[in-house]
């Protein structure tokens, strides 16, 4: 029997889950604005908390403020997972915005590692 080569799935982009409120604004193609909160973000997309779902497939400009500065990108809205949670994917992100987003993600990963290390060291064995 002929065996086909196994393809490796691409690794998922590192995601950051925000515990603090991170306001976000969508500007839709028809000019409407939708305010929401960024719940999760990665270099490829994320998850927004919105007052009502935006049409799946809608193109929008997405703006949010991070500890590294403002990030502005073009996004495509994906199918909502609930009445108030809707994923998106970035379709365009300028180099500066991508750098700011990478910085925030890296800082979050490092903070999580540091906190996990402190918990392990203080754990009673």
Alpha-carbon distance 87 to 53, whole Å?
10
Alpha-carbon distance 105 to 125, whole Å?
32
User: In the chain, how long is the greatest CA-to-CA distance?
Assistant: 60
Structural domains in the chain plus CATH codes: 16-117 (2.40.10.220)
Place of tokens 């495509």: 76
Contact assessment for residue 115 and residue 107, using Cβ atoms and an 8 Å cutoff: no
Per-residue pLDDT tens, the chain, 125 aa: give them: 455 556 666 677 777 787 678 999 999 999 999 999 999 999 999 999 999 999 999 999 999 998 889 999 999 999 999 999 999 999 999 999 999 999 989 988 887 766 555 545 555 54
């Amino acid at each position: 029997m002929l065996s086909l080569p196994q393809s490796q799935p691409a690794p998922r982009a590192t995601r950051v889950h925000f515990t603090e409120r991170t306001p976000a604004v969508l500007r839709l193609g028809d000019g409407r604005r939708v305010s929401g909160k960024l719940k999760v973000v990665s270099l490829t997309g994320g998850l927004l908390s919105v007052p009502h779902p935006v049409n799946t497939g809608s193109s929008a400009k997405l703006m949010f403020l991070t500890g590294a500065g403002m990030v502005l990108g073009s996004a495509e809205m994906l199918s909502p997972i609930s009445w108030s949670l809707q994923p998106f994917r970035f379709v365009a992100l300028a180099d500066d915005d991508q750098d700011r987003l990478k910085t925030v993600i890296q800082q979050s990963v490092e903070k999580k590692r540091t906190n996990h290390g402190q918990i392990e060291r203080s754990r009673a064995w």
